[in-house]
Amino acid sequence: MHVTTRRSKEVRDAPKPSGCAECGRTPHTASIREYERNIMTAATADAATGKVVENPPFKKTEPMAYAMGDIGNGFYFQLVTNYAMIYMTDALGINPLIAGWIIFAGKLISAFTDFGTGVWADNAPLRKDGRYHWFVRNLRYPLMAVIILTFLPFVSSWALPARITYITVIYILGVAFYSSTSAPYGSFASVSTPVVKHRDEMAAGRGFGSTAGGIIVTFILPLVMYTTVDGKKILNGPVLIWVAIIFAALLWICYEITLRGTVERIRVEKGTHEHVPLSKSLKYMFSNRAMVALMLAALLLIFAQMFAGAVNAYLYKDYFNNTTALAILAFQNIPVLIVAPFVPAICDKYGKKLVCGVLLVFTTVVYVVMFFLHITNPYVFVGFSIVAIFGNGVFGLMVWSFITDIIDDIQVKTHTREDGTVYTGYMFARKIGQALSGLLPGVVLAATGYVTATSGQAITQSADTLNNIYAVATLAPAIGNGLIAIILLFMYPLSGEISKKNAAELAARRAAGEM
């Protein structure tokens, strides 16, 4: 059966459901459903065998083409996530508490811009290449501009109020423009194919891209953005403008590879009466136990990752006074990349929730051990971090597949498919986690008396400040990953068996020309 659900000429020319004969207003629900059925039947008229036939055929290169998009995302996301706060405190001389509130406000706003973009994309008209590709193709350009504007070197010479105002505006614009590309990009996996195995490959591809992008960015930056003054590592603020220019160009290239190498095969063309109101979309999500569980897990996952990431910049610069080790830490996800090709098969056999839940328990235990050991050798700490991150990395690799399972689950129960809305509901939870992880490191640093600097200054922090930095760098991910494990193992309801049943049910409906 052809998965694509674009209407044939006969259906396009068919009369649309008219208003009610009695009242002359909105057509009856039955008429709309009949119209939907006609569209789907015309699109799947060759479903003689009931077998899913991907049109065009799924290519083995598509997961890697999709992965390139998340590598591109990393050139903005990893740069801003890991270095926005230290850029504000150590290049612009902004108090860490103020910097934390700037990041908190930006991430909180982006939670709503993500959701709004998802709804916008879901209700956008079908174009030649589908519904979602248009957003990435056109809206990447303002994102590229904001990457460069964030790190203009002469801003550090302005008066403090002007610096705070400028970076606040640019930061908020950046997260908003990032939403406009990342939210539609996230829908690519669920609309690329209805075949569960291929969707898992796409999800693993994105997870690979996210991990690889993180390694590339977090390895390069510590090597080029720090210098040594009086034996102390300091941030080299002016070099960041060149990094930003290069990263903007690389982002464009990565997105272009994704746009050329992926296909939207699941296309449901919506009539004027088929758009689902935002209130109904929210009801679908928040009444679905799997969606609520994954949103909680997403909030904690991103909080643990970003909180530790933001603090690591200070941990290695001030506590260890060794930013070379921070560059080596970029390779902490290499073990995850090695096992990535095998993870979908393992999850298919034992179920994603069980595999990821058990590995996250392991991650939690290792971080607790690191806290109590109070490691002083940066390379030993890196070694422990590589072991600790494994469970978290596998969950990050497969989390996009969790989302497609939930989209299917909602469609089975409601006969409505809202890929972008569900994806951005998940991203909403992530952005809340990002907002909290942006605020709390600033609160912690300010409370411990962290001394800020402008470009070129070498500052020695107090012992209490350094010890607190170490504590939050180990305990925060331990608590976050432990809570995620509990949610997956005891709250998330979609086992591997249920997900396969849902996929089979939807395949049968498509064969019958139904939603």
Position 8 scores a pLDDT of: 37
What gap in Å lies between CA 254 and CA 79, rounded to an integer? 16
Position 473 scores a pLDDT of: 87
Give 388's pLDDT tier (boundaries 50, 70, 90): very high
Q: What are phi and psi for residue 266, nearest 5 degrees?
A: -90, 105
**9 and 88 fall within a common domain:** no
Buried b (16+ CB within 10 A) or exposed e, 234-262: bbbbbbbbebbeebbebbeebbbbbbebb
pLDDT at 36 over 60: no
Position 355 scores a pLDDT of: 93
H runs (alpha helix) in 91-195: 96-122, 133-150, 160-192
Amino acid in the structure at residue 467: N
**46 and 64 fall within a common domain:** no
Higher confidence at residue 86 or residue 65? 65
pLDDT at 147 over 80: yes
Q: Assess contact for 436 and 444: CB atoms under 8 A.
A: no
Which value, to the nearest 10 degrees, does the dihedral of the CA atoms of residues 138, 141, 142, 148 take? Answer: 170
**46 and 94 fall within a common domain:** no
**100 and 42 fall within a common domain:** no
**36 and 57 fall within a common domain:** no
Last residue of a domain, one of 51, 67, 89: 51
What gap in Å lies between CA 133 and CA 389, rounded to an integer? 33
Higher confidence at residue 210 or residue 95? 95
- Return the structure tokens found at 467: 């010890």
Amino acid in the structure at residue 102: I
Residue-wise pLDDT tens digits, 46-70: 334 444 556 678 888 899 999 999 9
Percentage of the chain exceeding pLDDT 70: 82
Q: In this structure, what CATH number is given to the domain that contains residue 159?
A: 1.20.1250.20
Give 37's pLDDT tier (boundaries 50, 70, 90): very low
**173 and 199 fall within a common domain:** yes
**163 and 253 fall within a common domain:** yes
Residue-wise pLDDT tens digits, 166-184: 999 999 999 889 988 888 8
**197 and 121 fall within a common domain:** yes
CA neighbours closer than 13 Å in the CB half-sphere of residue 152: 12
Buried b (16+ CB within 10 A) or exposed e, 33-53: eebbebbbbbbbeebeeeebe
Residue-wise pLDDT tens digits, 413-443: 877 776 666 776 777 787 788 777 777 777 8
Q: Assess contact for 255 and 262: CB atoms under 8 A.
A: no
pLDDT at 141 over 60: yes
What gap in Å lies between CA 380 and CA 142, rounded to an integer? 42
- Return the structure tokens found at 32: 């709309």
What gap in Å lies between CA 396 and CA 204, rounded to an integer? 9
Higher confidence at residue 365 or residue 45? 365
Position 143 scores a pLDDT of: 94
Higher confidence at residue 472 or residue 416? 472
Task: Work out how many domains the chain is built from and give that number.
Answer: 2
Domain that holds residue 178: 52-511
What gap in Å lies between CA 226 and CA 329, rounded to an integer? 16
What gap in Å lies between CA 334 and CA 346, rounded to an integer? 18
**379 and 235 fall within a common domain:** yes
Tell me how far apart the terminal alpha carbons of the chain are, to the nearest angstrom. Answer: 14
**403 and 424 fall within a common domain:** yes
**9 and 65 fall within a common domain:** no
What gap in Å lies between CA 230 and CA 499, rounded to an integer? 59
- Return the structure tokens found at 141: 């350009």
Position 253 scores a pLDDT of: 96
pLDDT at 23 over 60: no
The alpha-carbon radius of gyration of the chain (Å, integer) is 24
pLDDT at 276 over 90: no
What gap in Å lies between CA 384 and CA 506, rounded to an integer? 44
**25 and 90 fall within a common domain:** no
Residue-wise pLDDT tens digits, 283-334: 666 777 888 898 899 888 878 777 777 788 888 888 898 888 888 887 887 8
Percentage of the chain exceeding pLDDT 90: 24
Position 263 scores a pLDDT of: 87
Which value, to the nearest 10 degrees, does the dihedral of the CA atoms of residues 18, 21, 22, 26 take? Answer: 0
